[in-house]
Structure 1
Amino acid sequence: MIIGMFLVTFIPRVIPLILLGNKELPEKVILWLSFIPAAVLSALLAPSILLQNGSLSLKLANTSLVAFFPTLLVAYKTKNIFYTVSGGLVFYLITAALF
């Protein structure tokens, strides 16, 4: 099982390095690849922010959604991951205490 998991995670990482290691990628490919981290992070966070008990919740009772907006503002203003995560935790705790 461990060897299988190693192969499944290792091979997709090594093959592009072997095939593309010495080649210059086109500008459009580099631009496209630059959006992947934000897209993956959004895909991971959106369900935990928007869903409660398996269904869409856009109410003030959804503490994650209410805490998301000031956290987004902190992220936009500071562009610092430490302040964003710390602010998000504080906003979530305050929201959970209020609601």
Structure 2
Amino acid sequence: MVRTPLTPEERARGERFGALLRDARGDRSMVDVAAAAGVSAETLRKIETGRAPTPAFFTVVALAAALGLSLDVLATACAPERIGEEPRALSA
């Protein structure tokens, strides 16, 4: 099966998601957060850098739980940007 290329908007959403995870991780090491979420550090690295802009749902859930983030907050923060709007903050 051939995967459809991602649109620029989808790539931008993945980059926003990665930045949110990086900010939420704070001083915690990538290895510690990845282990707490049950994913590899390389998977987390790819998500945080935008190289994996569409992670699997259960990967997102596991990372959110490991970082103490609400899925609602993540969904809102990663929603498509509207022209002229400032990027959304991570707080609820």
Same fold (TM > 0.5): no
Q: Which has the higher strand share?
A: 1
TM value normalised by structure 1: 0.28
Please say which structure displays the higher CA radius of gyration: 1
TM value normalised by structure 2: 0.29
Q: Which has the higher helix share?
A: 1
